[in-house]
Structure 1
């Protein structure tokens, strides 16, 4: 009995010892693996490049027609004829609608008859005045009556002419707001008319920029309707007064608009170009880590023949077309990590996948800006 118990105990001890040995071996392997250095992470890099940037001033503005009005009637009347279509292009002086002028033309006939009668009386009285058959006062009275008749005829003709509503200038019509047979009181809205080529963009800039603004200065604009298109124009006028409420100066730029893409009332992002300045160090936006504690990059250095990264604080400036100006912290030609920063630590060895091609001088249409 005792010998059997000893055999069982020995067997249990052997099993426990075997399991302990296996576990010990596993722990040793894991410790050995942990002690081996991790492989260097693979990152892509880019270089700091020097570019010639054109500084600018950015603002928001509104597209305005060179001429725009709501066509209306000066005299009341009933719409007799509509001679235009909504959205049509018209020329200056083109008749848009005619009001009923039948009664006015009948009145004109009566006034013309009165004018002729006054002329006959005046001719007869002048003949009689030579024979002293009438007094000079009678001739003067008839002369005044003729002048009055002529004035009434002229006034009636002007009224008839005003019942033909004409386009005050060439441009594009809006949507018709009247109907055939409708009675229009004086001053009724008929249709909007806008002269769209050229067109204006009005915007404002802080007064501190007044010294760098000149008439004829190049201006670029973008609108939401055509996000990939840049409209080029020039400053047409600069307000001589500063707004006391905002301390801004009003600026008006003139743009050619042959295809009528710019429409009055559009919201525009305006860039006023300033004279070209010297070389600027730039980096792709992706290479920079932005934070509230400051912007930084991972600078690549050779240490004992192997590439390592060092976290470098930098001071950034304007942004333009995906690139950011670097004001402090880097030099022209420095190599920095472009992608893969999240897996890096300061002083870590890296493997460079491939260098991103240098973009050279950026030719984007929206330069960096000093915004209000």
Structure 2
């Protein structure tokens, strides 16, 4: 007999597994239904970090499908057992997914913030590595009203997809040069043009 199948919750329907008119038995998979507004992400953490693990910790996850984008979430549960083979405990986090970009089964890389702190961060491309040191170029206005570039040394810290924490060397409100600095020297006069004119300061406070 014909039957009407009603979904038990709102979600996204996947590919149909059977054809119209087919006979089905109890337990037959007809179609998949996924609730993706909030994704659950399970990942292993070495047992040495157990004292720091607790619900409420912030994480940032990235996927090769969306390079440069960080998906932020919160730890919701820590497993009660440690895997005797890997010596790791499974941690579960929940990631808001309002635009539905994340899908079940995706492979993701996670960064767990065990000791959150508020720090400035810059786009990775703004950091100029030279040997063991790191520098950034700042936009400055001299006494004559010229816009110049000033190279300053910075101490970098934690990394998130697309961003680098700056531990020292950068003041709030500083405007950095993120493109076009190849061959640039400190004190050189520069021109801000095109889409970058009037850009907001690159100083970007975030937790890391």
TM-score class, shorter: 0.5 to 0.7
Provide the secondary structure at the position in 1 that maps to 2:35: strand
- 1:287 pairs with 2:119: no
Partner Cα separation in structure 2 for residue 250 and residue 263 of structure 1? 20
> Which structure: greater helix fraction?
1
Cα distance in 2 for partners of 1:218, 1:225 equals 22
What corresponds to 1:15 in structure 2?
none
Q: 1:189 is matched with which residue?
A: 29
Q: What does the per-residue CA deviation read over 1:261-310, in whole Å, with 9 as the maximum and x for residues that have no partner?
A: 1110111111111334699xxxx552125xxxxxx89xxxxxxxxxxxxx
Aligned partners of 1:168, 1:364: CA distance in 2, in Å?
42
Change (3 A) 1:180 1:278: closer
Cα offset, 1:167, TM superposition:
1.7
Count of residue pairs brought into register by the alignment? 155
Cα drift, residue 206 of structure 1: 0.6
| Cα distance in 1, alignment partners of residues 42 and 32 from structure 2 | 21
Root-mean-square deviation (CA, aligned residues, Å) is: 3.6
1:146-225 alignment runs, 5 A limit: 163-225=3-65
Specify the SS of the correspondent of 1:354.
coil
Residues 93-125 of structure 1 deviation map (CA, whole Å, 9 limit, x = unaligned):
xxxxxxx15xxxxxxxxxxxxxxxxxxxxxxxx
Instruction: Sort the Cα spacing of 1:233 and 1:180 in 2 relative to 1 into closer, same or farther, 3 A.
Output: same
The 1:365–1:177 alpha-carbon spacing in structure 2 relative to 1, beyond 3 Å, is farther
The residue aligned with 1:227 is 67
Contact map agreement 1:235 1:253 (CA 8 A) in 2: yes
- Structure 2: segments with no counterpart, 5+ residues: 120-126, 135-154, 171-181, 189-200
1:175 aligned counterpart, secondary structure: strand
Say which of 325, 334, 354 aligns to 2:186.
354
Alpha-carbon separation, structure 2, partners of 1:287 and 1:324: 16
Please state whether the residue corresponding to 2:9 is helix, strand or coil. Answer: coil
Cα distance per residue 1:212-260 (max 9 Å; x no partner): 1221111111122222322221111001111111010110001111211
- Partners of 2:113 and 2:206 lie apart in 1 by 10
Q: What is the DSSP-based 3-state SS (H/G/I as helix, E as strand, rest coil) of the residue aligned with 2:86?
A: coil
Higher relative contact order (CA 8 A, sep 6+): 1
